[in-house]
Structure formats: C-alpha cells, structure tokens
Structure 1
Amino acid sequence: MSELSVTVLGCSGSYAAAGESCSGYLVRSDSTTLWVDCGPGTFANLQQHVALESVDALLVSHHHPDHCAELPVVYNAAKYYMGIERIRVLATSGVREVTEAYGDSSDLFGWEMVKDSSKARVGDIDVLFSRTDHPVETLAMRFESDGKSIVYTSDTGRGWALAALSRDAGRPAPDLVVGEGTLLHATDNPDIPHLSAAWLAADANDVGAQKLVVTHVPPGSDPQDHLTEAGEVFCGDVSVARTGATFWA
C-alpha cells in the first residue's frame, strides 16, 4: 500500500509570524506531489523538499493573500528562470482573477476552475472539493489515494462541517484532518469566520477522524494552547502544525 502524507510549508494564520510562512502544504503519495495553498514564504520552503518542476499540480483554496500570494512569484520563477513550460493549477475563479491582476498567466498556468462538489484526479490522488463558511469562495479538499485519505479544511466558520467531505459525500471517515483552529476559548466568537481548536476537534470526532493536525494559528497565539484545547476534546492522535513537519494518513 502506498503512503499518503502532508508536509507543512507554512502554517501562520492570516499573516506570517517572525521567521514563519503563511498557509502551504505538500500532499504526497508514492508517485504524486501536490502543492496545496501557496501563502507568502511557502515557495522558499517548498524548495527545501522538492523542485518546482516535480510538483504535479498546485491547488489553491481561495484568494485571500495568506493562501495565494506566492502565485505571481511562482509564475516569474518558472517562466523566466526555471524553463518550466506548464503548471497545472486547480483553484477558484477568485484566485485566477487576483493572480491575473499582474497580467495574463495562461501561457504558463494551466488553469482549472473548481467549485463546491468539484472532483479532480492528479496522478494517483483523487481530490474532492467542498465550499466552506468563509467571506470569499473557499474550498476545503479531501485527498484520497490507495485507501488513505486526508482532509484539509482551509478557512471556515461554523457553518461548514467535515461531514461535507465524509459522511454527507458518501465517504468513509478521514484518516487525517488538517484543520484550522485559529481561535481559542478566550477568543472564540461565532461571528468570526474561523474555528476554535476545540470546535475543530469536536467536528473531527463527529466524523470519526483518526488523526488531527491543528493549523492556521495566528501570530501572538501560543501553538501549545491550541494543541492543549484540541487535545482535551479530540479522541485520536492530535498534533499542532509546524513548518517542515510531515504527517501521515
């Protein structure tokens, strides 16, 4: 059986903490490499793990800059320095619109617009998308390969749940959830379009997830506090994201 893993390229929420990067992840099977979200600083960190030409597709959840702002940088690097002819990009229409404020990118990026309930296959990884509860069109993603699965929530408020990519979609429980736990008990507010670590953990329990990684911790908030609050609720193995760490489904 092949392995399915996620490596953290950046995990700061909304903006990067000193010495850190915003949202970005490598999802890999034995034969396929996906770059999921490309917030500021993640391109530099990507190159510590794989060459850009080894990435089979770039998937971007939404057009908030902490999740997509490296795209114009990737365009310049690939086109003018690396000699890469084509990069497959699966993203919302908003991501393309924001990126092409800098100019037409279709000569390099093979854009594929995805939305709620879209499905895609890249190499041996199947991807299912679900629109979350966030001010702009934002897509959570489920990655499946050889019987293993990882769900990435991207950004969301309480109006979306992991069931949309598991039970409600006729899918089994995810092996691993990489979920935003931006808030804590002290900062939790249902009017803020983000989740607390405890809310995320309860939702992961609801769908029977085996492992949980809490991510998108904002600068100034102690990751250990987010880990502790999630750990008090989640029934399986729980970790907090850290740049460079790899987690297996």
Structure 2
Amino acid sequence: MDVVIPAPDKIKVTSHRQYHTPDPLDPLSTAPSPLDQFRAWFTEAQGAVLEPEAMSVSTTTAAGVPSSRFVLFKELDGRGFVFYTNYDSRKSRELLENPRAALAFYWREVHRQIRVVGRVEKVSKEQSEEYFKSRPLGSRLGAWASEQSTVVGEGEVKARLDQVRERFGVTDEAKDVVDVPLPEFWGGWRVVPDEVEFWSGQPSRLHDRVRYLRVEGSSESAPQWKIDRLSP
C-alpha cells in the first residue's frame, strides 16, 4: 500500500492490493444453508487466520444512529451466531432499542469476508452460565468489575477489581478454587440471520459474492434460503 499525504489535513491511498482466492465461489458450489457454509469456511480458516473469531457488530439506536465495534464470536448453533457481553453496555442497550444487528468477518490471510444481518435475541441464562464458567478467572472477575461503556476515573476500574477479588475471596493461594458466579447483567446475544453474504477476493476488484436471503414466510427454526450471485 502506498500512502501520500498531500496536505497536513489529508491522506490518500494510491495503490491497492490485488486479491486472488483459488477456490470457486458461486451459488452452485456453496452449501444449501449459510450456517453450513460458514462452518466450512470457519473450519478452513483455523490455522491460516490469526484470529478468525474476531467480528464486527453493528447496532443502531431507535433513532437510527449506528455504531460498530469488534467482539469475539463464540458459538454457532442451529439458530445463529452467539457472542457475549455486558447487558448494560452500549451495544446491548441499542439491541434492546432496536433488536437487529449486522456482523462482519474479514479474514485477510485467505481473502474472505462474511456479512450477516438478522434479528437478535438473548441466549438462555443456562447457556450464558456454561460459557461464563469456561472463561479464565481474570475474565470472570473483569466482568464483575467493569461497568462497560460508562465513564470512569483514573484507577477506578482497578479499585473495583480489588473489591471484586475481596468479595469472592480471591487470593493468589485460592485463585484456582474460587467460584465466581455469572453476573445478572452479563450474558449472550444470538444473531438469527435473515441475510448472509460470502465474499471471496479476486483480481481487478471482480470479487465473487454469494448472498443467502431467508425466504419470506419460512421460519427461523427451519429456514429456506434463496441463493444468488451478486455483482462485485
């Protein structure tokens, strides 16, 4: 990439990387379900992509103001894509106002992208508890200590973390046997897709794009999909 700074207040990118993904991507070669196609691509990304679980989550307020951030994708089940967060965070508040979200994965190393749009729902408390127990102790304590998306003073988060450690009796000697329960304000969101697009990089910006749209009237539990090739 070549970058030119023609003036102090400007940046121009003057060259672009050429992509080439050898595997064909077309409606005839993809799986009938986008969830199955995602599983195949995600499996292939293991070992080739540094952090394939990193994904952007875009939300909007009831007034239509958007915001995006990166989180970690944690599970694909029979309904959709699951991630976990603080239910008092900005993203969660916006999902409560407008229960739809867009996800995006970008795997630079293999020249692939995946885009998801759908309705959101909270996962069950039991599912959230199962995942929370699998987290490292520091992450469980951090979930309690962080009032996510709120303004904090210098040193305030560390002070809260010290209070949480004291509350649950966490010491260097007892850290492996301490039970830190799931906070009531923390858990999972599931994005149940209505639209999923798979993008495969090709030379001259003539990329392969295949889009799945859930057929109108088909249920979320047993969806039918219309599969199309999109123009680059």
Q: TM-score range by the shorter chain?
A: under 0.3
TM-score if structure 1 supplies the norm length? 0.24
If asked which structure has higher relative contact order (CA below 8 Å, sep 6+), I would say 2
Query: Is the radius of gyration larger for structure 1 or structure 2?
Result: 2
TM-score if structure 2 supplies the norm length? 0.26
